[in-house]
Structure 1
Amino acid sequence: QPGITGTDLVLAITHFLRKERVVGAYLEFFGEGADALSVGDRATISNMTPEYGATAAMFYIDNQTIDYLKLTGRDDKQVALVETYAKHTGLWADGMKKAKYERILRFDLSKVTMTMAGPSNPHAMLPTSELGSRGIAAAWEQPEDGKMPDGAVIIAAITSCTNTSNPRNMIASGLIARNANRLGLTRKPWVKTSLAPGSKTVKMYLEDANLLPELEELGFGVVGFACTTCNGMSGALDPKIQEEIIERDLFSVAVLSGNRNFDGRIHPYAKQAFLASPPLVVAYAIAGTIRFDIEKDILGYDHDGNPVTLKDIWPSDEEIDAIVKQAVKPEQYREVYDPMFTLNVDYGEKNNPLYEWRETSTYIRRPPYWEGDMVAANQLKGLRPLAVLGDNITTDHLSPSNAILADSAAGEYLAKMGLPEEDFNSYATHRGDHLTAQRATLANPKVFNEMVKNEQGEVIQGSLARVEPDGKVMRMWEAIETYMERKQPLIIIAGADYGQGSSRDWAAKGVRLAGVECIVAEGFERIHRTNLLGMGALPLEFEAGTTRKTLQIDGTETFDVEGTIEPGATMTLVIHRQNGDVDQVPVKCRLDTAEEVSVYSAGGILQRFAQDFLESEAR
C-alpha cells in the first residue's frame, strides 16, 4: 500500500512468523511480493531473523540484486560475475521456481498497514490504526507547568540495524522532518533524540538531498555509526528529566527504529519501548507522548493556525523514490567501503604476544573459564533453583546490556573499584571483565522470578531471588554470591521460548559462572541454546504438556538429572520435594548433534578448543 515502509513490512512479517513457529528454520522468501521488494527492504526483513527465531532468511538473486550491486559501487566485472554465476548455477530467480520446500507459508504484503511493535517484544505487532483500541493511545493532557505528560516519549532514536541502511526509510525520515519544519512543528523538550546510522553513506546521501539539516533542526543529529539506543546505549538523560520521572513515578517510554525493545533493554527509565519506522520516530518526537493517536491526533498548528496531522507531513512514495534516485550514488559507497579493504598497517616494534593483565581493570580481565569450578564436570545432583521463570525470557532479562546504575550490584562494584558514576558506562562495554559483567546476571528490574512472591501470593517484579533452604529473599547478585560461597550447584526452570533476543554471550556466561549446571524449559531459542551448551550448561526440554506449573514447582525443591547424555535422548529430571516426595519427569536432552555432545562433555566450547589445541601440539 502507499506510504508503507520496509519497517512496517518487517514488523508485520515478524509477528506472522512468530505465530508460525519458525524457530531454527531456514527461510526463503519468494513470490510476486518478494520480486517487488528492493534489496534494502529485503535486508530489513532478513536482519530481523533472530526476532522471529529462524536460522537464516534468504531471498534469491535477481535484477533487484544486480541493481543494488550497481547502486552500492561494485565494479562492472564483479556485477557481471554475480549475474553469470547465479544463472549458471541455478541460483538466479528463474532457476528457483521449481524449488521444493518442506513447508510453504503465505503472507500478503498488500494487507500490511502502518505498523509499530510493542511493548516489550518485536513480534508484538501494533498497527497504528489500533493504538486507541489497544489502550496505548488515550486521552491525555499537557500539564500547564511544562512538566511531562503521561506516557512521555523520553527517547526517540533513529538507530542502526538495517532500518538506517535502507535508503527509502532514511529519505522518508528526512522528508517528514523537512515538512514538519516548514509548518513550524518542533520536538517536545523532554524527548532525547538521536540519529545513529548503520553506515556512513547514510550521512552522505542525506547531505546530498539537503535533508540532514532538516533532521538536525528537530534534534536528530548524527551521534555515531554503530549500535546505540537499540543496544541500551542511548546515554544519560537530562538530570532534570530523570529526576522528574523518579519523583512522579512517571510512565515514560522510548520509540526507536531498531530491532529489539525487550523489557529493560532500551533505558532504565523507559518503562516500555516501541519499535517504529524512522519517519514515525520523527513524528513521535513531535508528539511527545505514546498516548498520542499518531494517525488521528493533532501534532501541532502551522504558521496560520491550521491543525497539522501526520498525513499532512507524510511524504509520497513518488517523492521518496525520486530523491533516493537523485541522492544515493555509487561513489558514496566506494568512498566509505573501498578503504576498508586496503590494508596498510604499521605494527611497530615486535610486541609481547602475551597480554599483560591488569588487576585494576574493569574492562578486560583474565577470564576464569579454564580455572576452578569451570573445569570441573557437572554433577547434576542436588541442584537448587536460582530462578523459576515464565515464558519469553529474553537474553536481556538474563544479562542486560544497558546503562549501569549506581545502586545496582555492578554499579556498587565499579564504585568500589574507584570509578566515578559518570564513567560506569553500560554492561555491554564491560563484557571483557567477568567481575563486572557477571553482576548483570538476571539484573534486569523487569524480570519476574516466580520464587519471589508477596503476602498475597503475587510474583514480585525485580532482580530478586529466594535463597533455599533458608527461604530468605534478597537481591539476585547477593543470592548468587551466597550460593557460590556454599558451592551449591544450581538449576533454572523456565517456560516457553527461553533465551529470545540478542545472541548475547553473557546471558549464558553469567548463569554458568553463578553455578547453574542445567536449564530446563518448555522450549529454547536456537542461538541461546547453542551458547548455553558452549558454556557447559545442559539445556533440557520438558515434554509437551509438562510445565513448571503442572509440576507445581515452587523453588523449595532440589533436582537431579539422570540418564545418558546423547543427542535428543530422553533423560530423567528427579524432583525431590520439601515434604520428602520424589517425582521423576522425562525431559529431552537438547544437545542436538554428536558435535554438541562433544562440546558439552569437554565443559564448553573454550575447553573443547583448548583440548583440541593441546592434542594437536602434542602430535
Structure 2
Amino acid sequence: MSAPAGASSPRLTLPDAAGTVVDVRAAAARVGRYDDLPYAARVFAENLVRRSDPAALPEALEALLRRDGTRDFAYYPARVVLQDLLGTPALVDLAGLRDALAERGGDPRRVNPAVPTQLVVDHSLNVDVAGDVPDALARNMRIEAERNAERFAFLGWARRAFRNVDIVMPGHGILHQVNLERLSPVMRQQADGLVFPDTLVGTDSHTTMINALGVVGWGVGGIEAESVMLGRPIRMSLPPLVAVGLIGERRPGVQATDLVLAITEFLRTRDVVGAILEFVGPGAAGLALADRATIANMAPEYGATAALFAIDDATLAFMRLTGRAPQQVRRVGAAARALGLWADDVAEAAYDRRLRFDLGGVGRAIAGPAQPHQRIPLTALRDRGDIAPRAETAPQALPDDGAIVIAAITSCTNTSNPRNLVAAGLLAQRAVARGLTRRPWVKTSFAPGSRVAESYLQAAGLLAPLEALGFGIVGYGCTSCNGMSGPLPAAIEQEIAARSLQAVAVLSGNRNFNGRIHPRVRASFLASPALVVAYAIAGTMAVDIEEGVLGHDRNGRPVRLADLWPDDAEVDAVCAAHVQPGQYVAVYEALEREADAPDVPAAVRYAWRDDSDYIRRPPYWNGALTAPFPAGPMRALAILGDNVTTDDLSPSGAILPDSAAGRYLIARGVAPADFNSYGTRRGDHRVAVRATLANNRLRNEMTPQHEGSWARIEPEGEVLPLFDAAERYRARGDALVIVAGRNYGAGSSRDWAAKGVRLLGVRAVVAESFERIHRSNLVGMGVLPLEFEPGTTRRTLALDGSERYAVEGYAEPSPPRGMLTLAIERRDGTRLSVPVRCRIDTHDESAMFAAGGLLPRIAAELLAEGVQP
C-alpha cells in the first residue's frame, strides 16, 4: 500500500492561489539530475514522490533517475477510462468478483474501484441506416438502444452499485475525443490543494490520444485496467524514451491525417516498439493541439507505448477553446512550470535516442490495403497495377475489382480535428455546387466523435453539402472504424459474392486489418475525411484520385480533385469563425445535466439472468481455470504467421450465421437479425469464447486449404471448425498451445483475445515476439507467453502442428524473463529441445501467474486482507 498522496513530501506553493505541488526537484537532487529527465520520466518521478512509501522512495527514484531499466517501480495512474466493449466485461468481472468473494465469506462491498473510472459507450453503434437517409441518426440510435438494452441496463446498475464509476451513455461521442475535450483536467487537485499531473490508463489502445494534452496515458487490456481500478499499482520498468524532432512546415493542402500516416510509416522502420516517444522541436511547437491529437492517437499503429507533446501555450489555448474554467487553465500553466513540465523546460532533456522527421516532405496519401503503415502517396497510385486507371463505369453499374462499397468519415483519429472536418465540408460544398453526387453503390456515413462537430459544421453551413453527398450524421461513436459498418444493400452483397469482387472500403479511421471493416470487404484504405468524400464521388480505386477525373459537372465538364480541394487559408478562416468555446460548453453542460440525474439505489450483487446472451456471470474463479501450469504435453490448436492481430484473435464486428457464435445464438433462439456484434456480446463468455480466433480471414497454417476459423485435430488429422476442435481436445483433457510469428497480438487492447484462448484450453503461446498489451493480458489470464530466440521460428523448426509440446524448467514463481526449454516431439517420435524465453517480465507478474491470473489473485488478496469497507 502507498502512503497518502503527498502526505510526507515537501511542497511548493503555486502563484495566484492555484494550489501546491510536491517538490520533485528537491527529492530528486539527492540521487540525480531531475532536469536531465524527459517529460514522461518527470511525470513518473512526481508520481513516485507523491505516492511511494517514504522508505522505498530513494531506491525507486534512483532507478528512475539513472534510467535503470532492470528495476521496476510502482506507478499509480490517477484514473481509468473505458470504452464499452472492453469496459462492460471489466465491470462484469468486478460483479463476478463480488459474488466470488461473498461465496467465500468475504464482504462483496470491498470490490469497488479505488480510482475514478469513466466509461463512455461508443463502440455499440452500428450503421444500420446509411448517411443518405434523412433520419439515419434517430433510427440508428433507436436500434442501438433496442439491441443493447440488457447491456445498458447492466451499465446503469454498475454506475449505481460501484463507487467512483461514471458512465457516459450512448449518443455523446467517442471516449478519446470526450476525454480530450472534457474529461481530462490536465492537472488534478486534491481537497487539500495539492495539484498533480493527470495520468491514466484506458481499455483501448488509442488512449494515447490524450498525450496531445501532455497527459501520460496509454492503453491496457481490461485485465490490467481492473487491477488499476481496484487501487493496485502498475509495476513497470522505465521504457526507452525517444525524442522525435519535428522540423519543417507542412505543405499546402496536407491534412493531419497525411502527417500521421507518414509518421506511422517512418516510425515503423525505426524500432520504437514499446518506447515512449516525445515529439519536440519547432515542427511540434507549430502544430495545433488537434493535429497533435491526430498524431498521438495512432501511437499503437507505429508501435509506441505513448506519444507525448509537452504542455505549452497551444495546450492552454485548446483548454480555453474547449471551455475549461479560466482558473483551471491558470492552474495547469503554473503547475507545469513548477514541475518542469513546460515544453521549454524539457528542450535539453537527455533521451535514449533522438529521431528527426521533416513535416515538409509529406504529401497527400492513403494507407492500405490491410495495415496502417502501408502508406501510398497519391502521386504513386497511378503506378500501382492493382488500382490502375480504367474506363469510367456506367452510372448505376457496380464496377469491377476496386469498387468502393463503404466510404466512412469516422474515428477518434480524425473527427476530433476541426480542420479535417471543415476541409471535408468545403470539398463537399464545392462538389455539390458542381452537381456531383456519390456513386450509388457506395454506402456513406459520418459519425463524429463529439456532438461539438455537428455544432460548428452546422454554423459554417457545411453540414448540408455533406448530407447531400450521403454523409449525414449516422450517430456519435466508432462505427466503421471498429467494424460496425452495418449491412451493405443485399443486391451489392450478392453481386460481390457472385462475381468474387475485390470490394473496397475507404475510411478516416486508424485501423484497416483484414476482415475488420466489413466481412465482404477485401481491402480497406485509411484516408483524410476530405479524401473519403472524394472517393465516394469517384466510386472506385481505379481512378487516379490525384490527377484523374472524379466525375462530370452539370455541363459535362470533367472535375478533378484540384477543382474541389480547399486551400488552407479558407479552412483556417472557417475554423476561426465557427469553432467557438460556447459550442463545447453547451454540449458538455447538457451531458453533465444528464449524468447528474437522481439515481435509484442498486443491489450490492448483480442479479444474473440464466437466459441472457449478453451478460453472464464469469467463470474465472472456477477450479479448472486456476489449475497449475500443465507438466504434460500439449497439442497445437493453431500455427499462425506474423502480425496476428487481436482482430484475428477476437473480432469485434459482424457475427455470421455459420460461425461458431452464430450457430450457438441460433440454437439459443436468437435470429440473425438480432445477433448484434461480437464486441457487444463479450459480457457473456459462452458467446465470446466462440468468437475466439473467429476472423473469417484467419490463416491457420495447419489448415492451409481453409481460410477462416478452422483447426486440425491430432493425431487423426481431421479438420474441424476451430471451436469444435478445442471442445474435442477439452473432452480428452488435452492442454493446448498456439505457435506464431512476429508481433503476435498486435492491434486493439482487447483482453478477450487472451481470455478467449484461455477458455479454449490454451495454456501457452510460443511466438517470435509479442505486442506489449497482449503479452500482459496473456499473463493476466494464466497463459504463458514464450518467445523464440532470434533466428528460431516455426519455419526453421519445420513445425506443422502434428507435434506434441511440453515446457521444461518452469517452476512457480518463475523468475522474470528466464530461459526455459520447449520440448517438441514429432509424429515420428523424434525429439528436439528448443530454448525459449519466458515473457513473464516482472516479479509481480510471476506472482500473478502462479495464482492463476489477476482475478483469482485479487480474490485471494481481498479474502486475506480482511479490511472492512
| Shared fold (TM-score, shorter chain, > 0.5) | yes
Aligned to 1:516: 762
Q: Aligned residue for 1:146?
A: 396
Residue number among 320, 325, 329 corresponding to 2:576 in the alignment: 325
Is 1:291–2:542 an aligned residue pair?
yes
| 1:60 and 2:315 correspond | no
8 Å contact from structure 1 (residues 10, 45) kept in 2: yes
CA contact (8 A) 2:298 2:413 kept: no
Match of 1:465 in 2: 711
**Do residues 30 (structure 1) and 280 (structure 2) align?**
yes
Q: Which moved more, 1:426-435 or 1:371-380?
A: 371-380
Q: Which of 596, 609, 614 is the equivalent residue of 1:344?
A: 596
Question: How far 1:89 moved relative to its partner?
Answer: 2.0
Calculate the aligned-residue CA RMSD, in Å.
1.5
More displaced stretch, 358-367 vs 511-520? 358-367
User: Does the 8 A contact of 2:425 with 2:466 survive in 1?
Assistant: yes
1:574 is aligned to 823
Q: What secondary structure, in the 3-state scheme, does the structure 2 residue paired with 1:448 have?
A: coil
Matched to 2:833, the amino acid is Q
1:424 and 2:675 matched: yes
Question: Mapping of 1:197-596 within 5 angstroms?
Answer: 197-341=448-592, 344-348=596-600, 350-454=601-705, 460-564=706-810, 565-596=814-845
Which residue is equivalent to 2:848? 599
3-state SS of the aligned residue for 1:100?
A: coil
Structure 2 counterpart of 1:213, which letter? A
- In 1: Cα distance, 2:353 partner to 2:655 partner: 44
Partner of 2:259: 9
In 1, the alpha carbon distance for the partners of 2:656 and 2:849 equals 35
Over residues 21-72 of structure 1, what are the superposed CA-to-partner deviations in whole Å (9 max), with x where a residue is unaligned? 2111111000121111111011111111111221111001111112111111
Q: What secondary structure, in the 3-state scheme, does the structure 2 residue paired with 1:331 have?
A: helix
Residue in 1 that maps onto 2:346: 96
Decide which of 113, 117, 132 is 2:367's aligned counterpart.
117
Answer whether contact 1:445 1:462 (CA < 8 A) is retained.
Answer: yes
Distance 2:359 2:676 in 1: 41
Counterparts in 2 of 1:211 and 1:432: CA distance versus 1, 3 Å: same
Runs of 4+ off more than 6 Å:
none
CA–CA separation in structure 1 for the residues paired with 2:844 and 2:501: 50
Cα distance in 1 between the residues matched to 2:632 and 2:391 = 58
Matches of 2:303 and 2:760 in 1, distance apart? Answer: 27
Unaligned runs of 5+ residues in structure 1 are 455-459
Separation in structure 2 between the aligned mates of residue 371 and residue 3 of structure 1, nearest angstrom: 58
Q: Matches of 2:563 and 2:504 in 1, distance apart?
A: 25
CA contact (8 A) 2:389 2:544 kept: no
Q: 1:341 Cα deviation (Å)? A: 4.7
Work out whether residues 398 and 444 of structure 1, in 8 Å CA contact, stay in contact via their aligned partners in 2: yes
- Look up the SS of the partner of 1:474 in the other structure: strand
Q: Alpha-carbon deviation of 1:399?
A: 1.1
CA shift, 1:5, in A, is 0.6
The question of whether the paired residues in 2 share the 8 Å contact of 1:51 and 1:501 is answered with yes
What is the letter of the counterpart of residue 82 of structure 1?
A: V
Q: Secondary structure at the match of 2:833?
A: strand
Of residues 389-398 and 15-24 in structure 1, the stretch that sits farther from structure 2 once superposed is 15-24
| CA distance in 2: counterparts of 1:450 and 1:380, whole angstroms | 26
> What corresponds to 2:290 in structure 1?
40
User: What letter corresponds to residue 776 of structure 2 in structure 1?
Assistant: T
* Deviation (angstroms), 1:106: 1.1
Letter in 2 for 1:600: F
Using the TM superposition, give the Cα deviation of residue 429 of structure 1 relative to its aligned residue in structure 2, in angstroms.
Answer: 0.8
The CA deviation at 1:142 is 5.1
Rounded Cα–Cα distance in structure 1 between residues aligned with 2:528 and 2:764: 39
Match 1:76 to one of 326, 330, 353? 326
**In 2: Cα distance, 1:6 partner to 1:369 partner:** 43
- Higher relative contact order at CA 8 Å, sep ≥6: structure 1 or structure 2? 2
Question: In structure 2, the residue corresponding to 1:106 is in which secondary structure?
Answer: strand
Q: Which whole-Å CA distance do the structure 2 matches of 1:4 and 1:224 have between them?
A: 27
Q: Which amino acid aligns with 2:334?
A: T
For 1:72-118, what per-residue CA distance to the aligned partner results, in whole angstroms no more than 9, with x for missing partners? Answer: 11122211221122222221111111111001111111111111111
Q: Which amino acid aligns with 2:412?
A: C
The answer to whether the 8 A contact 1:141-1:149 is kept is no
For structure 2, list consecutive stretches of 5 or more residues without a partner in the other structure: 1-250
The one-letter code of the counterpart of 1:43 is A
C-alpha separation in 2, matches of 1:184 and 1:392 = 44
Q: What is the one-letter code of the residue matched to 1:540?
A: L
C-alpha separation between the residues in 2 aligned to 1:339 and 1:406? 40
The Cα of 1:617 is off from its aligned counterpart by 2.3
Kept in 1, the 8 Å contact 2:395–2:439? The answer is no
Deviation per residue, 1:302-353 (Å, 9 max, x gap): 22222101111000000000001111000111112234456524222x4332
- State the Cα deviation string for residues 367-408 of structure 1 (Å, max 9, x = none): 111114212122153111111111111101111111111121
CA distance in 2, matches of 1:53, 1:40: 21
Q: What is the TM-score with the length of structure 1 in the denominator?
A: 0.97
Give the stretch that moved more between structures: 138-147 or 243-252: 138-147
Cα deviations by residue, 1:265-318 (Å, 9 ceiling, x for unpaired): 110011111111111111111111122221121011122222101111000000
Code of the aligned partner of 2:806: D
Answer whether contact 2:638 2:702 (CA < 8 A) is retained: yes
Task: Pick closer, same or farther for the CA change 1:68–1:144 going to 2, 3 Å.
Answer: closer
| TM-superposed deviation, 1:261 | 0.5
SS in 2 for 1:24: coil
| Number of aligned positions between the proteins | 613
The worse-fitting range, judged by mean Cα deviation, of 491-500 and 73-82 is 73-82
CA distance in 2: counterparts of 1:205 and 1:19, whole angstroms? 38
Deviation at 1:135, TM superposition (A): 2.8
Give secondary structure in 2 for the equivalent of 1:369: coil
* Structure-2 residue corresponding to 1:457: none
Residue equivalent to 2:166: none
Q: Verify the 8 A CA contact 1:357 1:366 in the aligned structure 2.
A: yes
Residue 183 of structure 1 deviates from its aligned partner by 0.7
- 3-state SS of paired residue (1:379): coil
Q: Is the 8 A contact 2:626 2:853 kept in 1?
A: no
